[in-house]
Amino acid sequence: MSQPPAASHRHALLSILPYLWPRGEAEMRLRVVLAVVFLVLAKAANVLVPIAYARAVDALAPREGVGAMLAIPVALVIGYGLLRVMSSAFAELRSAVFAKVQARASRRVALRVFAHLHGLSMRFHLDRATGGLSRVIERGTRGIAIALNFLLFNIIPTIVEILLVAAILWWMFAASFALTVLLTIAAYVAFTLLFTNWRLRFRRAMNAMDEEANTKAVDSLLNYETVKYFNNERHEARRYDESLARYERAYTRSETTLNMLNAGQATIMAAGLTVVMLLAGGGIAAGTMTVGDFVMVNTYLIQLYLPLNVLGFAYREIRQGLTDMEQMFRLLDVPAEVRDAPDAKELPPGPGEVAFEEVRFHYRPDREILKGVSFTVPPGRMLAIVGPTGAGKSTISRLLFRFYDATGGTVRVDGEDVRAVTQDSLRRAIGVVPQDTVLFNDTIAYNIAYGRPGATQEEIEEAAKLAQVHEFVMKLPEGYRTRVGERGLKLSGGEKQRVAIARTILKNPRILILDEATSALDTRTEQEIQAALRGVARGRTTLVIAHRLSTVVEADEILVLDEGRVAERGTHAELIARGGLYAEMWRRQSEAVAAAEAAARAEEEARFGRGRSARVEGEMRA
Ligand SMILES: Nc1ncnc2c1ncn2[C@@H]1O[C@H](COP(=O)(O)OP(=O)(O)OP(=O)(O)O)[C@@H](O)[C@H]1O
Ligand SMILES: [Mg+2]
């Protein structure tokens, strides 16, 4: 944390305020007002309780002319009961009315952070662990609930009550009563805060040890197989027990210091109570106070003691809640790297021409990935990009999609600089089948329909047929309603790729990027899909990135990318004739293919041969 905690806590509190008093939401504002009213009523009733109690005691005390007075104490006792009921009823009403405000604030904040995260750049997301981000949102919204509840309904009301009680005591009796109460509470609060701050380290140690023991246990169980391979069960148990022992020590310390805190608090309260009762006793002896007054003073202090009792806990929770909130709000301050220009316009409809002009790009300043790449893909044509791994092929597709901005040169779509149009309109025009397809943990139908939310079942199946995945889906017991598992892991690589192709077909973009879209398929399926993709690509500008050169033979132009530069360009025939890098790659791949085919033939022959000899043997035996 760069800021001091106090400042950052203040920042967190200020950030939440607009959500508690939302503009244009009359209902929420009304609820806030009602909650405050109920809070005041509850506290007022609470403060009146000891007075009713005291007057009842006085009315019941033996005096001359008894008997006739019985009606008064009964009324006072009933009044006492009613006040108590009102005190808790108003407190519950206040919670009920405020619950929605708090839930709405949490919802709005969570949504805002979520939307903001989606608006942030690829770079941010690659650098952050997604699991960690969702934990930050979860803890942050929980922090809002905790901090608000304790602050608004515990700390602040208690302060109000303390001041009210002090005022009443001053007004009814003497300043000494009010001063004693205030001093007692001041001592109590100071002691609690100091002690809790000191104790925090034990609490933290306990959490850290808990986490450590947990991590070890999980890691060890996940590595079940490895543990068995090396007969290390005893070693694992010892390591786990070491962590548990540390946790045991930390827990014991944390608990004993909590007992010390409680004991200290009780001592301070008892001391204050004693002084106040001595003062009241003196008042009775002097005839200025009644027995009822004595009871009243006592009751006030005990009543204040209750909310104060949780002060240490509340303080710790509020601190933690504010820290969590602050962490979440800090996410909102992260600027998006790729942003729409202030005067960005919609990408106008067009034929889909793509042009790179001397484009340079680096992810990190110390390593340039693209060193001046230029090419133009005329509308409806197909450009293939080939080259060794790490050459920057996928990077080109990321720049066109504007996941990053080029550090030099210009990327144009239909003549428009991609930086001058809105990201939304640009991305609507481009369909990408990425190198590593990831699916949502939902059904196949959902994942295909993702290309165009609202697509009908017929449209989904139409796209699936084009992507050669329909037949496979029909073989599944649950068909299109089959769930694909986390990130789509229940599908094979090739099945995933075909689902990804289907959803891009459904998106129907004017520009198509296929980044190794068929790399996970066997040669036969690939050939089938290639045919389908050719159909899809017809009339669209297409960028094909591929390792398997057989898939790019028909491209209108082939770009050989090497170390961020265009090493060669031309049609397949031209490049072969040229006898350069591409020709070399082609020769090697053809050899590999020939070798594979020869191996397959040999295997088939061997099997066929064995089969024949087995038959011959069988015949002979017969
Ligand atoms: N987010 C990133 N941060 C830093 N470096 C990156 C990042 N993404 C890619 N790179 C680097 O940029 C280079 C080009 O990556 P790119 O993904 O464009 O390669 P490619 O040509 O598509 O390779 P492949 O054929 O293996 O898919 C690689 O060396 C890679 O390590
Ligand atoms: Mg790649």
Please give the structure tokens belonging to residue 101.
Answer: 């405000």
> Which pLDDT score is estimated for 225?
84
CA 437 to CA 492: how far, in whole Å? Answer: 11
Please compute the mean of the pLDDT values over residues 191-198 and round it to a whole number: 90
> Which pLDDT score is estimated for 615?
45
In sequence order, the 6+-apart residues with CB closer than 8 A to the CB of 368 are 360, 361, 362, 564
124 lines ligand 1 (CB under 6 A): no
> Which pLDDT score is estimated for 208?
83
Q: Percentage of the chain surpassing pLDDT 90?
A: 30
Ligand 1 pocket: which of 337, 394, 432 to mutate (most atoms <8 Å of CB)?
394
> Which pLDDT score is estimated for 117?
87
519 lines ligand 1 (CB under 6 A): no
Residue 66 pLDDT grade (very low, low, confident, very high; cuts 50, 70, 90): low
Please compute the mean of the pLDDT values over residues 278-297 and round it to a whole number: 88
- Nearest protein CA to atom 11 of ligand 1, as residue: 390
Per the confidence metrics, is the pTM higher than 0.85? no
In sequence order, the 6+-apart residues with CB closer than 8 A to the CB of 556 are 377, 378, 381, 382, 383, 571
For the ranges 61-65, 215-219, 366-370, 602-606, the lowest mean pLDDT is seen at 61-65
Q: Are the C-beta atoms of residues 554 and 382 closer than 8 Å to each other?
A: yes
How close is the Cα of 515 to the center of ligand 2, in Å? 7
How close is the Cα of 363 to the center of ligand 1, in Å? 9
How close is the Cα of 388 to the center of ligand 2, in Å? 10
Please compute the mean of the pLDDT values over residues 358-363 and round it to a whole number: 93
- Nearest protein CA to atom 25 of ligand 1, as residue: 389
Using DSSP bridges, classify how beta strands 354-364 and 408-413 pair: parallel, antiparallel or unpaired: antiparallel
Which residue is listed with tokens 């952050």? 128
> Which pLDDT score is estimated for 194?
92
Mean pLDDT of the chain: 85
* pLDDT at position 1 over 60: no
Please compute the mean of the pLDDT values over residues 311-339 and round it to a whole number: 83
CA 271 to CA 278: how far, in whole Å? Answer: 11
> Which pLDDT score is estimated for 65?
54
How close is the Cα of 503 to the center of ligand 2, in Å? 20
> Which pLDDT score is estimated for 129?
63
Please compute the mean of the pLDDT values over residues 110-138 and round it to a whole number: 80
Residue 520 pLDDT grade (very low, low, confident, very high; cuts 50, 70, 90): low
Which residue is listed with tokens 């031209």? 574
* Cα atoms in the 13 Å half-sphere on the side-chain side of 374: 4
- Using CA atoms, how far residue 158 sits from 6, 165, 275, 581, 582, in Å, is 22, 10, 22, 80, 79
323 lines ligand 1 (CB under 6 A): no
393 lines ligand 1 (CB under 6 A): yes
CA 33 to CA 396: how far, in whole Å? Answer: 56
Please compute the mean of the pLDDT values over residues 159-181 and round it to a whole number: 88
Task: Report pLDDT digits (tens) over 223-272.
Answer: 888 888 889 999 999 999 999 999 999 999 989 998 999 899 989 989 99
Task: Report pLDDT digits (tens) over 378-410.
Answer: 999 999 999 888 899 999 999 999 999 999 999
How close is the Cα of 392 to the center of ligand 1, in Å? 6
CA 312 to CA 265: how far, in whole Å? Answer: 10
* pLDDT at position 609 over 70: no
> Which pLDDT score is estimated for 222?
81
* pLDDT at position 412 over 90: yes
Show the domains of the chain with their CATH numbers: 20-332 (1.20.1560.10), 350-429+509-579 (3.40.50.300), 439-507 (3.40.50.300)
Q: Are the C-beta atoms of residues 212 and 246 closer than 8 Å to each other?
A: yes
Please compute the mean of the pLDDT values over residues 444-467 and round it to a whole number: 90
94 lines ligand 1 (CB under 6 A): no
How close is the Cα of 393 to the center of ligand 1, in Å? 8
Which DSSP string do the residues of 256-299 spell out, in sequence order?
A: HHHHHHHHHHHHHHHHHHHHHHHHHHHHHHHTSS-HHHHHHHHH
- Nearest protein CA to atom 31 of ligand 1, as residue: 390
How close is the Cα of 390 to the center of ligand 2, in Å? 7
> Which pLDDT score is estimated for 69?
59
Please give the structure tokens belonging to residue 364.
Answer: 């990190």
For the ranges 250-264, 328-342, 353-367, 586-600, the lowest mean pLDDT is seen at 586-600
For the ranges 74-78, 354-358, 490-494, the lowest mean pLDDT is seen at 490-494
How close is the Cα of 366 to the center of ligand 1, in Å? 14
> Which pLDDT score is estimated for 195?
92
The number of the ligand 1 atom at minimal distance from the alpha carbon of 516 is 27
Q: How many residues can be counted in the chain?
A: 622
* pLDDT at position 552 over 90: no
Strand partners, 568: 560
H helix or E strand, kind and range, residue 508: none
> Which pLDDT score is estimated for 622?
40
> Which pLDDT score is estimated for 120?
86
> Which pLDDT score is estimated for 70?
65
404 lines ligand 1 (CB under 6 A): no
- Using CA atoms, how far residue 361 sits from 356, 410, 515, 545, 564, in Å, is 12, 11, 19, 18, 9
Residue 22 pLDDT grade (very low, low, confident, very high; cuts 50, 70, 90): confident
Ligand 1 pocket: which of 124, 125, 362, 363 to mutate (most atoms <8 Å of CB)?
363
Task: Please give the single-letter amino acid code of residue 613.
Answer: S
* pLDDT at position 588 over 60: yes
Of the candidates 385, 391, 410, the residue with the CA atom closest to the CA atom of residue 400: 410
- Nearest protein CA to atom 14 of ligand 1, as residue: 392
- Using CA atoms, how far residue 608 sits from 595, 596, 605, 612, in Å, is 20, 18, 5, 6
Which DSSP string do the residues of 591-620 spell out, in sequence order?
A: HHHHHHHHHHHHHHHHHHHHHHHHHHHHHH
* pLDDT at position 606 over 80: no
CA gyration radius, the chain: 38
Please give the structure tokens belonging to residue 105.
Answer: 């604030």
435 lines ligand 1 (CB under 6 A): yes
